[in-house]
């Protein structure tokens, strides 16, 4: 009953993202410039590097690039700990930029195009902003940009939404930073752990969704168009 209304098709895209990023990173090792990349990767990140990456990463997330790519790139370049931390900051900044742009600057523009979805999401998020945002972010499916914009034109408190989003970003940020780091050094165990954690995080998101059966219709509609 529970899993049928969620469906398995939406999970194909994130699974392919894992395979594509890991395969691409491993392929870089076979290219002529692979040694150059390796010599720069995992080098010490100074303030300029951190600021540049966080700024570009935030911009990328704000315009709709999958946040997993930002985490993977950071992990590839600086390892799991530093990479995941930098990617998480970039993701939260990008999320906040979208939310406040939609709320303060482009409310009429966004509402005119997303009115029906905004009403459904408003009912979902305003009940429990932190938990709802956390649940939606744990799911590796959907459109993060669209969710940010919808939250911006809803009545959801920005603080609860951003905190819930940040908490929900953590598992996949760490997982994709782990995959990026493991791909750079071709460490099979690290890649396997990353894939296993990806599956676990997906299952956790599904369980959280199934627990909210009272809102299951709203969640089903929302998850098909947001993430």
DSSP for 105-124 reads: ISHHHHHHHHHHHHHHHHHH
- Domain count of the fold of the chain: 1
DSSP 10: G
pLDDT of 121-160, one tens digit each?
A: 777 777 788 988 988 888 766 688 989 998 998 888 999 9
Give Cα separations from 42 to 30, 132, 181, 185, 193 (angstroms). 19, 36, 9, 10, 20
Residue range of the domain that includes 177:
2-223
The pTM (predicted TM-score) of the whole model is 0.78
Region 34-58 average pLDDT: 73
Higher pLDDT, 125 or 163: 163
CA dihedral (132, 133, 137, 141) in degrees, to 10, reads: 60
pLDDT at position 87 is 95
DSSP 31: S
Tokens 């627990």 map to which residue? 211
Region 30-57 average pLDDT: 69
């Amino acid at each position: 009953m529970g899993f049928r209304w969620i469906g398995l098709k939406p999970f194909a895209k994130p699974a392919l993202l894992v395979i594509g990023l890991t395969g691409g990173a491993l392929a870089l090792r076979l290219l002529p410039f692979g040694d150059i990349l390796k010599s720069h990767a995992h080098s010490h990140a100074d303030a300029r590097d951190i600021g540049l990456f966080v700024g570009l990463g935030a911009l990328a997330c704000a315009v709709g690039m999958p946040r997993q790519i930002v985490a993977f790139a950071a992990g590839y370049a600086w390892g799991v700990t530093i990479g995941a931390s930098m990617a998480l900051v970039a993701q939260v900044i990008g999320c906040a930029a979208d939310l406040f742009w939609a709320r303060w600057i482009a409310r009429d523009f966004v509402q005119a195009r997303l009115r029906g979805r905004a009403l459904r999401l408003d009912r979902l998020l305003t009940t429990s902003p932190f938990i709802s945002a956390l649940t939606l972010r744990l799911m590796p499916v959907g459109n993060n940009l669209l969710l940010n914009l919808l939250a911006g034109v809803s009545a959801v408190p920005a603080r609860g939404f951003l905190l819930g989003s940040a908490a929900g970003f953590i598992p996949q940020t760490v997982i994709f930073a782990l995959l990026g780091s493991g791909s750079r050094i071709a460490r099979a165990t690290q890649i396997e752990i990353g894939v296993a954690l990806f599956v676990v995080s997906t299952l956790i998101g599904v369980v959280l969704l199934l627990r909210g059966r009272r809102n299951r219709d709203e969640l089903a509609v929302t998850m098909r168009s947001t993430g």
